[in-house]
Structure 1
Amino acid sequence: MAQVFDQREPAMKLPTPRGPLTTLLFEELASPPHRFDPPSFSPRGPALYDEDLQLALFACYELHYRGFDGVDDAWEWNPSLLALRQDLERIFEEGLRRVVPLPPSPPSGTPMRHALADLVAATDGGPGLAAFLARKADLEQFREFVVHRSVYHLKEADPHTWAIPRLHGRAKAALVEIQTDEYGGGRLDRMHSELFRATMRALDLDDSYGAHLDRVPALTLAIGNTMSLFGLHRRHRGALLGHLAAFEMTSSLPNLTYARGLRRLGGDDAACRFYDEHVQADAAHEQIAAHDMCGGFAAAEPALAQDVLYGAACGLTLDRLFAEHLMDSWRHGATSLRRADLMAAGR
């Protein structure tokens, strides 16, 4: 059998700046690593919707993933850059708390799986994005949805994997079991990120990593930034697990409807495999995530049980805001992506 070697995928290029903060940051990153004075920054509105803030945070976080073409890898741990990131994270976390209040701690003796299930049941499901994609969306609207999701799905599972070395016992074993499936059980063609690339190719979209970064708005970046924030800080390990659990507990049925919508629009089995796979995988992962992973974690570290619920609430709330953004845009006959004139103006 002939050997198959992975082709090296080029790193993404630095995106187009969206304001004075990213203009300055990208100028610094284009130079060899050096000390610089982090600029002061105040958002011009809600942090989740500030284009300059969210893109700057995304760029800082991306240095811990695959980096950027032409940016020295040594920037990853540059003290000046970390100081800037710390300031931006403080603003971002304050913005998250304004939108997502800290849920009350579960009553003593309440199993974490029940507390999570109650939180999911009490959450407003939003404007019915999945049903719209299944029954009414046109092909361009479905392509827009996929472009948004590509920012995370092309690195699917990576942010949550940061938690593995920070756990022990039952919680660690459960997370490894979930992540093993996310990474295709060691088979490249079954990795969920690769399945999503097949969906993108079927929709005639560029499937290269980061190809659509300039097109997505701040809110889409904030969804990914929340995962990176939780993943890159040990103090947020409980929130990271809760975020993953909420995703696993609420994604099986939406993925079933996404697959129906894509097939209605002419997608074949290869195009829909990403969604089909999640219908089965996430149904199984739901129990593992809520009972073994989060339940095991809360039993081992009861002081962080409330953090688990907060991470879940963040994931659920941001998904609702994302659905509202898409549906509001389409209801008004507009694109949910950034307009070409704003991109050209760097806004």
Structure 2
Amino acid sequence: MTAIETPRETSSATPITDGAPRPVQTPGRHLPCPLPTPRGPVSSFLVEHLTRAPHDLPLWPAPEDDPLTGEDTHLALYLVYELHYRGVEGVDERWEWHPDLIRLRGQLEQRFEAGLVELVGDMPDVDDVTTFLQQLTTDDGSGEGRSISKFIEAEGDLHQFREQAIHRTAWQLKEADPHSWAIPRLGGRPKAALVEIQADEYGDGVDQDVHAELYALTMERLGLSARPNHYLDLLPGITLATVNLVSMFGLHRRWLGAVIGHLAVFEMSSVTTMARFGTALRRLEFDPWTCLFFDTHVVADAHHQTVAATDLAGGLVEQDPDRLGEVVFGALALCRLEAKLTEHVLGSWDRGESSLLGSFEAPEQAPGQRMVHVPADDPRRHER
């Protein structure tokens, strides 16, 4: 995190430029995922059975919703995947690898994968994976249409910034973890590249500089909860699908190339996106602590994008040319799914609606926001 003033250079109690002290980590930040409210027959089945001691499962209901965006499908898949992270409150850890649960997960994954194959469509002919990734990540990796970061930078208000921050909690508060599952499956140049990227993601050994911790800091400065999965019941199926994508890629060795393609796109499209969010926070009068997560990524990912394209993805394909198709698929699947999330969020805002499944509580004046006088009749004083 060179060129960014951080507590590593001072101390966790020392203010940075505006005199705002770094908050102490919120107690309970690393507890298991809270048990969510079911959204359909499959998630209801899971909540009913996972809260009991491990046992043979009866015949479970077939999912009936959209394999890419369905609320029931993706909450169920997300819930099962959380057993591979920090677990779920009230769920016996032995459920993680229970054969019946793995079979249920496999059926959900098959539907999701079929939906992704249809979404990606015909695979392009790619000669050079590095060049392909560079072209794909032009314009935030979406390659098409509108961008949440562009909208937030230019005109997003505090409520909208908070909404998009809540959408990203399911990912950013576990950032890097699913990609780390690829480390023991790599060797040589791509392994070294991945470890270099992940070392930065995990703060180079400094706990308060772990990128997930920096995002937690941003959440606190926005006046929101920093606990992972605190907002799970508010996250729509398409948001959960973007996280289920990388969990599925990371857990399965057959998707090694896909998880590398996924990471490469994230790293290569991060600098511009993160800079836009940092600009938006400054426009909204937030302090440097609130911006630290985004500023850190602007610096770190300026280097990571080259490592990811050339040494990680390029190195893997050089070692194993048969992985090229997986890398391309993983990159395209991420871009197309993110485009669906963008369409949902911006479409909701166009209609004057929330992009979440419910409302959330937040103070009118965020802890990280400089005192700004807002007239009583200004609509910004009221949450939508």
TM-score by length of 2: 0.84
| Residue number among 85, 94, 99 corresponding to 1:74 in the alignment | 94
* Structure 1 residue 98: Cα displacement: 1.5
**2:315 paired with 1:296:** yes
- Structure-2 residue corresponding to 1:229: 248
1:37 matched to which residue of 2? 58
Listed one character per residue, the Cα deviations across residues 232-291 of structure 1 (whole Å, up to 9, x for unaligned) are 000000000000001111110011010010111121100000000111111110000000
The answer to whether residue 134 in structure 2 is matched with residue 117 in structure 1 is yes
Aligned to 1:163: 182
Contact 2:275/2:298 (CA < 8 Å) preserved in 1? yes
Aligned 8 A contact 1:133 1:261 in 2 = yes
2:34 maps to which of 8, 13, 27: 13
Kept in 2, the 8 Å contact 1:153–1:196? The answer is yes
1:279 to 295, 298, 303: 298
Query: Quick one: percent identity of the two aligned structures?
Result: 44
Superposed, 1:19-98 pairs within 5 Å as: 19-44=40-65, 46-98=66-118
Q: Per-residue deviation at 1:34?
A: 0.9
Q: Which has the higher contact order (CA 8 A, sep 6+)?
A: 1
1:199-210 matches, within 5 Å, as 199-210=218-229
Pick aligned residue for 1:174 from 172, 189, 193: 193
Q: C-alpha displacement at 1:40, in angstroms?
A: 4.0
Matched, 1:186 2:223: no
The equivalent position to 1:263 in structure 2, one of 264, 276, 282, is 282
Is this contact kept in 2: 1:151–1:221, CA < 8 A? Answer: yes
Indicate how the Cα distance of structure 1 residues 103 and 222 shifts in structure 2: closer, same or farther if over 3 A, else same.
same
- Of 96, 100, 104, which residue of structure 1 is paired with 2:120? 100
- Asked if 1:242 corresponds to 2:266, the answer is no
What is the alpha-carbon distance in structure 2 between the residues aligned to residue 225 and residue 328 of structure 1?
Answer: 22
* Partner AA of 2:339 in structure 1: R
Q: Which moved more, 1:214-223 or 1:331-340?
A: 331-340
C-alpha distance 5-88 of structure 1, shift in aligned 2 (>3 A): closer
Q: Distance in 2 between matches of 1:303 and 1:105?
A: 13
Note the C-alpha offset of 1:60.
0.7
Q: CA deviation at 1:118?
A: 2.9
Q: Secondary structure at the match of 1:48?
A: coil
2-structure distance, mates of 1:154, 1:32: 29
Query: Cα offset for 1:153?
Result: 0.5
The reply to whether residue 137 of structure 1 matches residue 156 of structure 2 is yes
CA contact (8 A) 2:42 2:63 kept: no
Aligned partners of 1:38 and 1:84 also within 8 Å: no
Matched, 1:311 2:311: no
**2:185–2:256: 8 Å Cα contact kept in structure 1?**
yes
Residues 105 and 306, structure 1, Cα contact 8 Å, conserved in 2:
no
Give a deviation string over 1:54-111, Cα, whole Å, max 9, x none.
000001110000001111000000001001000010001011111122523423xx3x
Task: Name the amino acid aligned to 1:98.
Answer: E
* CA offset digits 1:165-197 (Å, max 9, x no partner): 111110101000000000000101111001001
Separation of aligned partners in 2, 1:172 and 1:128:
32
Cα distance in 2 for residues equivalent to 1:205 and 1:126: 30
Write the letter of the residue equivalent to 1:211: H
Q: 1:157 to 1:102 in 2, by over 3 A?
A: farther
Between structures 1 and 2, the one with greater helix share: 1
SS at match of 1:49: coil
Task: State the superposition RMSD in angstroms.
Answer: 1.9
1:202-221 alignment runs, 5 A limit: 202-221=221-240
Give, in angstroms, the shift of residue 326 of structure 1: 1.1
In the TM superposition, residue 306 of structure 1 has moved relative to its aligned partner by: 1.1
Letter in 1 for 2:33: M
Number of residues paired by the alignment?
335
User: Which amino acid in 2 is paired with 1:175?
Assistant: L
Query: In structure 1, how many angstroms separate the alpha carbons of the residues matched to 2:124 and 2:331?
Result: 13
CA distance, structure 2, for counterparts of residue 114 and residue 12 of structure 1: 39
Q: Which residue of 2 aligns with 1:345?
A: none
How far does residue 115 in structure 1 lie from its aligned partner after superposition? 2.2
- 2:167 is aligned with 1:148: yes
Any conservation in 1 of the 2:136–2:143 contact (CA below 8 Å)? no
The answer for unaligned runs of 5 or more in structure 1 is: 341-347
Tell me how far 1:7 sits from its aligned partner: 5.9
CA–CA distance in 1 between the matches of 2:109 and 2:301?
30
Q: What TM-score comes out, normalization by structure 1 length? A: 0.92
Letter in 1 for 2:123: P
Please, which runs of 5 or more residues in structure 2 have no aligned partner? 1-10, 12-23, 360-384
